[in-house]
Amino acid sequence: MTIPYPAPQPGFWASAAMISAIILTSTAGEVLTAAAMKSIGDLDEIRAHSGLKGAIRAVLTCPLFFAGVSFLALAFFALLFALNHLNLSLVAPASASLTLVTNAIAGKIFLKENVDRRRWTSAVLVCIGVYLLAH
């Protein structure tokens, strides 16, 4: 009878690649979804004018929204793949906290958001906080 050994953990670069895949697909999904919602306009105002059906129609007829959701689905599968190879205690805090920083960078570059010192400080504080909480 052989005693099963625990599966060896992937090396540094393989782990970094898996976590990077989650962060990149998640960031792309968040940015595309945010761009879609900005292109649609204030949902509260649309609902006030066209009702709930009108608001749902406005979201479901926006191609950018489906691009965003597709990337978020990819991020979910990348997370499942990483969890198959790496420990949850590494993947969850690393991906959750770093995604906040990459979103701040992507928001500034692609969405032209005003990421001032207040938002940078907040993103970094929450990033460290999420890491400490989930680790």
Partner 1 sequence: MSHARLSPRQYMILGLVSLCAPLGDTCLSRGMTGLPDITLAHPATLIAAVFTPWIGAGIALLIGFFASYLTALSWADLTFVLPATAFGNVIVALLARFWLHEPISLERWAGILLITVGVGFVARGPSLTERPATESTIAEPVTIGKEQA
Taking CB under 8 A as the criterion, the residue among 39, 50, 61, 87 binding partner 1 is 39
**Residue 17 vs 42, nearer CB to partner 1:** 42
125 binds partner 1 (CB under 8 A): yes
DSSP the chain: -PPPPPPPPP-HHHHHHHHHHHHHHHHHHHHHHHHHHHHH--HHHHHHHHHHHHHHHHHHT-HHHHHHHHHHHHHHHHHHHHHHHS-HHHHHHHHHHHHHHHHHHHHHHTS-----HHHHHHHHHHHHHHHHHH-
59 lies in the binding site for partner 1 (CB under 8 A): yes
Q: Which stretch binds partner 1 (CB under 8 A): 5-13, 16-24, 30-38, 74-82?
A: 30-38
Note whether 83 binds partner 1 by CB under 8 A. Answer: no
Q: Is 73 in the site for partner 1 (CB under 8 A)?
A: no
Residues within the interface to partner 1 (CB under 8 A): 30-45, 59, 64, 100, 103-104, 107-108, 110-116, 118-119, 121-126, 128-135
